[in-house]
Amino acid sequence: GQQLNQSPQSMFIQEGEDVSMNCTSSSIFNTWLWYKQDPGEGPVLLIALYKAGELTSNGRLTAQFGITRKDSFLNISASIPSDVGIYFCAGRQGGSEKLVFGKGTKLTVNP
């Protein structure tokens, strides 16, 4: 099955720094979702995007649905230790019943 290209694979940052990660695809997507997963737990939905160009915030998190519909970005501002985890993007193509997931970005925040 198709997978999204998510980058970077991992990030090591200092507390207080901003973080950016993205997902790209060769195909057009109609929906982009961003999840966070803590070790040994299920992913938790952070932000859902349904419209090209849409910019949505959830606290310190901001995500954007790319204009080309082939990419999406997630930014975290002023990182804190509890931001540690794996962040996944997921997308859905028009006419498809399935979500496609990226391989995740592992975030480490040093206090």
Partner 1 sequence: DGGITQSPKYLFRKEGQNVTLSCEQNLNHDAMYWYRQDPGQGLRLIYYSQIVNDFQKGDIAEGYSVSREKKESFPLTVTSAQKNPTAFYLCASSPKGAFSGNTIYFGEGSWLTVV
96 binding partner 1? (CB under 8 A): yes
102 binding partner 1? (CB under 8 A): yes
103 binding partner 1? (CB under 8 A): yes
- AA letter at 54: E
Farthest CA pair distance, the chain:
45
Tell me which stretch binds partner 1 (CB under 8 A): 11-19, 65-73, 74-82, 90-98. 90-98
Which of 13/86 has CB closer to partner 1? 86
70 binding partner 1? (CB under 8 A): no
What minimum distance in Å lies between the beta carbon of 50 and partner 1? Answer: 6
Please check whether residue 91 is in contact with residue 100, taking contact to mean a CB–CB distance below 8 angstroms: yes
Please check whether residue 87 is in contact with residue 35, taking contact to mean a CB–CB distance below 8 angstroms: yes
Please check whether residue 91 is in contact with residue 71, taking contact to mean a CB–CB distance below 8 angstroms: no
